[in-house]
Amino acid sequence: MNPSPELTTPSRFSAGELIGKLGPLIGLVFVLALFSILAPATFPTLNNFELILRQTAVVGTAALGMTLIIIAGGIDLSVGSGIALYTVVIALLLRGGVHPLLAAAGGIAAAAFCGGVIGFLITRLGLAPFIITLGMWGVLRGAAKGLANNSMVYPPATGLNELLQPLSADFIWFLTPGAWIMLVLAAVVALMLRYTRFGRHIFAIGSNEQTARLCGIHVENTKLRIYMLAAAFAGVAGILQFSYLTMGDPTTADGMELNIIAAVVIGGASLSGGQGSVLGSLVGALIMTIVSNGCTKMGLANWVEQIVTGCIIVLAVALDRLRQRRMS
Amino acid sequence: MVSDRVLAQQGGYRLRMEGIHKRFGATIALAGVDLSVRGGEVLALVGENGAGKSTLMKVLSGAHAADEGRMWLDDKPYQPRNPLDARRAGVGMIYQELSLARHMSVMENILLGMEPTHGPLMDWTAIRRRAADAMSQLDRPDIPLDIPVMRLSVAEQQMVEIARAVAVGCRVLVLDEPTSSLTRKDIVHLFNLVRRLRSQGHAIVYISHFLEEVREISDRFTVLRDGQSVGGGITSEVPTERIISMMVGRTVDELYPRSLRTPGEILLQIDGLSGQGKPRSASLTLRRGEVLGVAGLVGAGRTELLRTIFGLSPVRGGTVRVGAFTGTATPHRRWQQGVGIVSEDRKQEGLAVSLSITDNLTLSRLPRWITPSGQDRQASRWIGRLAVKCRSPRQSVVDLSGGNQQKVAVARLLHHDVDVLLLDEPTRGIDVGSKAQIYQVIDDLACRGKAVLMVSSYLPELMGVCDRVAVMCRGVLLPARPVAEIDEHQIMAEATGSGDTV
């Protein structure tokens, strides 16, 4: 069957690779089972699962962009600030009488612009993404506060407010629009990573930038596009966050970038680049939400929840390192 | 030499190494090496690239353990378990790549790892005094002790490294190609220092390609070839030609296929090309159906030549013409023009080792929309053609052996179907079977009208595979000559700068 006589072993993946691919899913099943046992009455219900999906939408959508960046060997610490800025931009546009769809598009455009600035600085100044986006973390937060005049921006009610509302109890299977947005975008990104040249170039740059350059890839341009595209996903996350708040809040999503990065890393991406998957990142985001949701259902205090979340992140990164060592 | 061995038995040597064997998997790196050096003597260790000089020095410094053989330091058995052990025993190594903590001060670097202390506190007075002592032993009290090492010139940094060895009280000092990144003036200073250390009674092992330097600085020399010591003597008594023939005199034991090749039109023409530092000046003409070799020493600028042609390094002067295209270009444009490159550094640059064989093989020529199974099919074709040993085209390149990795790197060029192949050390560090396969591929390509420009440090390979060979020496590419009209001695003489350069 095989075209080459040299293909001796029939298995397509080694055991290590298989565990690497399934690891996040195993983790998901584990936390689901754990909280189903610990909080049998309140946790494993259809309503709660629907709620978990809605709670995941913002982080999950932003994690799609972060997945691209991390696969390419970069990082973006400014996403949380960005999301706050985009809620403000959308609210201001709506208050100015702009059509809701245009306001949403405006939020995405603002995000893509910010991503373009980040990408430009990283590729033209040749500075580490960590430093550039740490700076942008402050700049975007400040810009949000300045635009919003240091207060909430209350827009008139529009359809944008409904994206993360639960559908009526009868239609709960059909999910909220926000969850659909996340899932559809996830499918698009997953297909893009696998079936387009751009997607393969992202992996190549993250795996070995020098090889990418040797093979004629425009590394700088590709990086610029990655940061713009990733920011556009943060823009969509901003729309969802706006919908959740129903207003523009320059102080919202504080520290959310760390949840997003954690989701991607739990999902099997390597912070040194070249590895990661959309499915993994979504599962990572779900694990984060489930832990938080499950702790709430068990009636645990917020501080316990935070400690548990922290431990999960460390555990996931430790597993990542272990996998790396096996690779080399 | 026999007299050497007799002397070695009689003692009086600071360092003796006898019958050192070292094997890495199937590769025999050292097959019985003897070396000895007295206090107050400079011994030159010469040999071609890959002759085993670095491996021997790694055995000496405790980085590798020898499989067989014995060593003595001042007639006491010496068996370092690691580099720290060797350093404590008094063996100081100065590698080409300096190993300094760039942000720390000169004196801290000199005493790094053996800082004098008062209990938990650093004894800064003693640190300064001992660093100053070491520097005055080197006759370089002018180098300030307080500034970070990165503010020093390369030559001064090398002094700091030597001072570090001297400060521990080293008895044997090994200098590995110490002049490769120094200016002529710095070299003179370094030689004065080596003579000074010699007069202080240090035993010095000086590793170099440059025979003129060997002649200038060493008292005796030992030649290494294919992992064996093949000769040696008193430097002033042996003519340079004799040393060269000791270095290259070996049998060609590999098969170099050579089918009938008919040179066609010019595919690559370079005139007076210069880049950043190197190359300084390079001109060549490469025709269809031709394999042109570039010989020279490590650091002569051969890699830089290929990189400058390919647009990976900037062009400072001269022209590059590829087919109908003239002028500089990015790597992206070069691929489009039908030029491909195989990097000498497989792991750092040539391959994205965490990605699959398919990904690596098809990376330079991906369609906008990809069907993974189709890509795998195309990769499988090359995997079969080059007999790459793997489980599947989806397997990570990191799992493959060096030879199979190199086949993947070469297959990328075949898959892209380039007309001009720039190969930088295409067979370095790979097994003989893979080498033979790569030679076969090169010959096939030449027969099919492709043009190959190949850099290699292994002379028999160049003589066996190429139609013409050009030698590069210190950034200058000398005119190419047909292999029938040139022999290894001439190449070696041109490369070491000791021949009559045209």
ipTM, interface predicted TM-score of the complex: 0.81
pLDDT surpasses 70 at B145: yes
Which pLDDT does position A16 carry in this prediction?
A: 56
Compare CB distances from A9 to B334, B360, B391 and report the shortest one's residue: B391
CB pairs A-B closer than 8 Å? 111
Compare CB distances from A207 to B330, B343, B355 and report the shortest one's residue: B355
Nearest chain A residue to B376 by CA distance is A3
Q: Which two tokens stand for residue B7?
A: 């002397």
Contact B389 A6 (CB under 8 A): yes
In a domain, A304, yes or no: yes
The total number of structural domains that make up chain A: 1
pLDDT surpasses 90 at B501: no
Q: Which two tokens stand for residue B58?
A: 């790694």
Which pLDDT does position A15 carry in this prediction?
A: 56
In a domain, A17, yes or no: no
Distance CA(B143)–CA(A149), nearest Å, equals 58
Compare CB distances from A7 to B355, B377, B392 and report the shortest one's residue: B392
Give contacts of A13 with chain B, Cβ < 8 Å.
Answer: 394
Give contacts of B368 with chain A, Cβ < 8 Å.
Answer: 196-197
In a domain, A144, yes or no: yes
Nearest chain B residue to A9 by CA distance is B391
- Helix-, strand-, coil-residue percentages of chain A, each rounded to 5: 75, 0, 25
Which pLDDT does position A8 carry in this prediction?
A: 36
Distance from CA of B187 to the nearest CA of A (A): 33
Distance from CA of A274 to the nearest CA of B (A): 7
Higher pLDDT, B381 or B48: B381
B12 CB-near residues (< 8 Å, 6+ apart): B38
Contact B369 A199 (CB under 8 A): no
Domains in chain B, please, with CATH? 2-90+171-248 (3.40.50.300), 102-167 (no CATH), 252-338+419-502 (3.40.50.300), 352-417 (no CATH)
Give contacts of B332 with chain A, Cβ < 8 Å.
Answer: 216-218
**Quick one: pLDDT band at residue B28, thresholds 50, 70, 90?**
confident
pLDDT surpasses 80 at B254: no
Mutation target to probe the B interface, by most B beta carbons within 10 A, among A214, A221, A225, A270 is A214
Using DSSP's 3-state secondary structure scheme, residue A53 falls into: helix
Contact B44, B220 (CB under 8 A): yes
Higher pLDDT, B316 or B401: B316
Output the average pLDDT for chain B. 88
Distance CA(B64)–CA(B57), nearest Å, equals 9
* Direct distance between the N- and C-terminal alpha carbons of chain A, in angstroms, rounded to an integer: 31
In a domain, A311, yes or no: yes
Nearest chain B residue to A198 by CA distance is B368
For the segment A49-99, what is each residue's pLDDT rounded down to a tens digit?
A: 888 998 999 999 999 999 999 999 999 999 999 999 999 999 999 999 999
pLDDT surpasses 90 at B318: yes
In a domain, A9, yes or no: no
Which pLDDT does position B459 carry in this prediction?
A: 85
pLDDT surpasses 70 at B5: no
Instruction: Determine what percent of chain B is predicted with pLDDT higher than 70.
Output: 94
Interface residues of B toward A, Cβ cutoff 8 Å, are: 312, 330-336, 341, 343, 348-355, 359-360, 363-364, 366-372, 377, 380-381, 383-384, 387-392, 394, 396, 398, 412
**Quick one: pLDDT band at residue B222, thresholds 50, 70, 90?**
very high
pLDDT beneath 70, residues of chain A: 1-21, 167-173, 320-321, 323-328
Which pLDDT does position B472 carry in this prediction?
A: 94
Within 10 A of A16 (CB to CB), how many other CB atoms are there? 11
CATH of the domain at A311: 1.10.3470
pLDDT surpasses 80 at B231: yes
Within 10 A of B378 (CB to CB), how many other CB atoms are there? 16
Contact B353 A207 (CB under 8 A): yes
Distance CA(B284)–CA(A27), nearest Å, equals 60
Mutation target to probe the B interface, by most B beta carbons within 10 A, among A205, A208, A210, A325 is A208
In a domain, A4, yes or no: no
Give contacts of B424 with chain A, Cβ < 8 Å.
Answer: none
For the segment B404-455, what is each residue's pLDDT rounded down to a tens digit?
A: 999 999 999 999 999 999 999 998 877 666 887 899 999 999 999 999 999 9
Which pLDDT does position B3 carry in this prediction?
A: 43
Nearest chain B residue to A8 by CA distance is B391
Which range of residues forms the domain containing residue A162? 22-321
Compare CB distances from A204 to B333, B352, B389 and report the shortest one's residue: B352
Nearest chain B residue to A216 by CA distance is B332
In a domain, A131, yes or no: yes
Contact B350 A13 (CB under 8 A): no
In a domain, A13, yes or no: no
For the segment B162-194, what is each residue's pLDDT rounded down to a tens digit?
A: 998 888 888 999 998 888 777 778 888 899 999
pLDDT surpasses 60 at B252: no
Contact A204 B355 (CB under 8 A): yes
Contact B384 A5 (CB under 8 A): yes
The DSSP string of B384-408 is: HHTT---S-TTSBGGGS-HHHHHHH
**Quick one: pLDDT band at residue B50, thresholds 50, 70, 90?**
low
Which pLDDT does position B416 carry in this prediction?
A: 95
Which pLDDT does position A2 carry in this prediction?
A: 37
pLDDT surpasses 50 at B253: no
Contact A284, A103 (CB under 8 A): no
Give contacts of B371 with chain A, Cβ < 8 Å.
Answer: 195
